[in-house]
Structure 1
Amino acid sequence: MLRLKGAVAHYAWGDRFALPEFLEITADGRPWAEIWYGTHPRGPAQIDESLHLPAPSYLADEVGELPFIVKLLAAAQPLSLQTHPTAAQAATGFARENAAGIAPDAPARMYSDQHAKPEMVIALHRFEALCGFVDSEQAIAQCNEAGAPDIAEHVRSNGVAATARAILNAEPFNAPASASRAMQQLNEHHHDPRSAVALLMHYVRLAPGEALFLDAGCVHAYLSGLALEVQGSSDNVLRAAFTNKHVDLAEFFAVANLSPTGDARVSTETLSAITTAYRSPAPFSVMRHEVNGTFSLTTTTEHTMLICTSGSVGTLTRGSGAYLARNETVELHGTATLYSVST
């Protein structure tokens, strides 16, 4: 078992206190948005035992490239309205931007790699998000409740997808008479006319332990809260609104699914007295283990990551992670909530 030190991302939307408190360290005034446990070059995890050496080792040096990233995420402000490509779309976009000579770290770069980015987000505390589009009937009801009759009529005449496209293209609509709760959660963006797109979307509030699964094309915006996120090892993001980062609506519309979808909540299955599995179409397996005593695990897959989100067990404390290879056996003692991710 390799204990890991995650890579911290200080994005502007991050919470200045949530992750430092979670890790029981002193806040430094910067926004702590994410901690990455993976091998992606934009946030490679280090092997904890090597940190005292002159040249610390990275997880990628030991195990190669992982097909997933596990993150701790703390949002004090909404993230952009965004979506992610399929693997085929990512490969095409990556090749196109390379051919165009767009530097890997250029602000306008949308495709940093050739991989898809399916995501599962699991609430650790309260977590709120916009995720996918509701059907016409619900969209009309949400528009009428917010006092947006012209948007409701556009939905009635043209459908949800065409209305979402119109709002994001900044076509003129009257401002809703009363901002919905979801619009209010967009904070400083709720006066942006494009915030009305929230009237067409699922507004999801997750309790701790509940999860969403977002496949390629799913339009979403995380609004606030602390969560564990598991995703494909990719940083490909197509943004449409609510950000100072690069927005390319044409590319966003080429990838995004604007049609109504069902609830993206993930179902769970109890496997034992301590283990719950999250069931989704994700290319990775996620389980939660409520440990009180001894936790034994023998891995049967190529890659397994453990993340401790409460208490302590063995050498793992809250916010710490570890990597296990195939056929590795560990026996840990303590009281903790552990998440295991494997492929």
Structure 2
Amino acid sequence: MPQPDLRAPLRLATTIRPYDWGSVTALPELFGTEPTGQPQAELWMGAHPGAPSTVGGVPLDAVIAADPAAALGPATAGRFGGRLPYLLKVLAVARPLSLQVHPSAEQARAGFAAENARGVPLDARERTYKDDSHKPEMVCALTPFHGLCGFRSPAATAALLDRLGVPGLRPWIETLRGEEPGAALRAVFAQMLDDAAAPLREQVERALLAAAAEPELAPYAEVARACPGDRGVTAALLLHHVDLAPGEALYLGAGVPHAYLGGVGVEIMANSDNVLRCGLTGKHVDVPELMRVVAFTPGEPHRVPAEPGGPGESRYLPPAPEFALARHELAGERAHELPGGVPQIVVCVEGEARLGGLTLRPGESAFLAAEVSSARLEGKGTAYRAAPGA
């Protein structure tokens, strides 16, 4: 197939991943499409080989590989090895995602090389490292969105566990109150994930369900209800619960344990699929490797403020060189002038967005290669725009 004209915005054909935690109705309601009766979890927009978007039937990764300098710009192509550095998604979360963590760049390179040396096939279920890249990510809420993110202080978690009134939790409570924070979190997290803790997990689940009406415990009761008997239920109690209102964003760096619980959001991440899971999932779990990657450091979740750009534009600038995100509120009165010279993806999430000769409706997206010197985004609605970070 011929190479598309990279000097104009290009409409993307995209894939929706049907993971079991996805919502049956949220994306159809957002995009104005008919439900399929099956979960629709993630709309992918980008050049990840697992589900690349296509342009006129040509996979976007192939379009970029044919002329990286034109598609990405010489600077971005050189900086990121000729690959689009980010992956953009729309998530529709109806039940908890896996309790997971992402590796650092150094850990990803070492883990990928080690599994290659052992001859583990890339598509094997037991494969942990799918590529040699790290996977920082950021989610920006489209609807009320909530999840678990990062370790709470050990003292605060000890107080939370104490409220459950489960005698078997006493050793963990004492460890959290008596030992150095990092050591305490590591010890208790490991014990919570151990198969020997299964009887205690059952008691914790019953206590959580009994306390589901208490606001502070309700999110953890939600996890217990959705994933009965799972080792991640008790481990989730170590993590902050985070609520995001529409327009608020959360950044997750390497080593931060997390699990999204519910809502619809735009997610952007480095172009990687490296996920280490320890619970709340039927997928491959690798507790020893996850324990090596987790950063056992308590801290507040990293919220990313919306910074003003041009009129009607809000920018989210996380500390990741691979990506940045902008929200465009289009009022029909003034066109938003988009920069040129960098690879960008624009997705409409509400109303209508016009970009060059393209009209985008909810769920539709376009790729702007670096060859596009400038573009005007206009219409009435809301669109999000992905680009490389600073």
TM category, shorter: over 0.9
- Match for residue 34 of structure 2? 26
- Normalization by structure 2: what TM-score? 0.81
C-alpha separation in 2, matches of 1:5 and 1:110: 29
Of 152, 155, 161, 1:143 maps to: 161
Shift of 1:301: 4.5
Deviations 1:301-324 (A, max 9, x none): 421111111111111111111111
Shift of 1:38: 0.8
- Match for residue 80 of structure 1? 98
C-alpha separation in 2, matches of 1:300 and 1:190: 50
Of 245, 257, 271, 1:207 maps to: 245
C-alpha separation in 1, matches of 2:232 and 2:36: 34
C-alpha separation in 2, matches of 1:107 and 1:43: 17
Deviations 1:137-189 (A, max 9, x none): 22122222333551322311342332122212245447333452122221332
C-alpha separation in 2, matches of 1:183 and 1:301: 46
- Match for residue 268 of structure 2? 230
- Match for residue 292 of structure 1? 331
Deviations 1:57-92 (A, max 9, x none): 122222233110000111111111001111211111
Of 88, 107, 123, 1:105 maps to: 123
- Match for residue 52 of structure 2? 44
Q: CA distance change for structure 1 residues 211 and 147 in 2, over 3 Å: closer, same or farther?
A: farther
Task: Report the secondary structure of 1:63's partner residue.
Answer: helix
Please say if 1:166 is aligned against 2:191: yes
Task: Report the secondary structure of 2:302's partner residue.
Answer: coil
- Match for residue 155 of structure 1? 176
Shift of 1:249: 0.6
Kept in 2: contact 1:128–1:205 (CA 8 A): yes
Structure with greater proportional strand content: 1
Q: CA distance change for structure 1 residues 253 and 299 in 2, over 3 Å: closer, same or farther?
A: same
Shift of 1:133: 0.4
Q: CA RMSD in A?
A: 1.8
C-alpha separation in 2, matches of 1:307 and 1:339: 5
C-alpha separation in 2, matches of 1:152 and 1:14: 35
Structure with greater proportional helix content: 2
Task: Report the count of equivalent residues.
Answer: 336
Paired letter, 1:169:
D
Kept in 2: contact 1:298–1:328 (CA 8 A): no
- Match for residue 328 of structure 1? 373
C-alpha separation in 2, matches of 1:297 and 1:325: 15
- Match for residue 73 of structure 2? none
C-alpha separation in 2, matches of 1:58 and 1:169: 43
Deviations 1:318-343 (A, max 9, x none): 11111112253222331111111111
- Match for residue 24 of structure 2? 16
Kept in 2: contact 1:170–1:194 (CA 8 A): no
Shift of 1:191: 4.6
Please say if 1:302 is aligned against 2:320: no
- Match for residue 147 of structure 2? 129
Q: Which moved more, 1:116-125 or 1:20-29?
A: 20-29
Paired letter, 2:245:
A
Kept in 1: contact 2:143–2:265 (CA 8 A): yes
- Match for residue 181 of structure 1? 218
- Gapped runs of 5+ residues in structure 1? 51-55
Kept in 2: contact 1:126–1:206 (CA 8 A): yes
Q: Percent identity between the aligned chains? A: 38
Kept in 2: contact 1:127–1:207 (CA 8 A): yes
C-alpha separation in 2, matches of 1:17 and 1:116: 32
- Normalization by structure 1: what TM-score? 0.92
C-alpha separation in 2, matches of 1:287 and 1:25: 25
Paired letter, 1:323:
F
Paired letter, 1:160:
L
Shift of 1:253: 0.6
Q: CA distance change for structure 1 residues 22 and 92 in 2, over 3 Å: closer, same or farther?
A: same
Q: Which moved more, 1:28-37 or 1:261-270?
A: 261-270
Kept in 1: contact 2:341–2:373 (CA 8 A): no
Please say if 1:247 is aligned against 2:285: yes
C-alpha separation in 2, matches of 1:160 and 1:100: 31
C-alpha separation in 2, matches of 1:163 and 1:60: 43
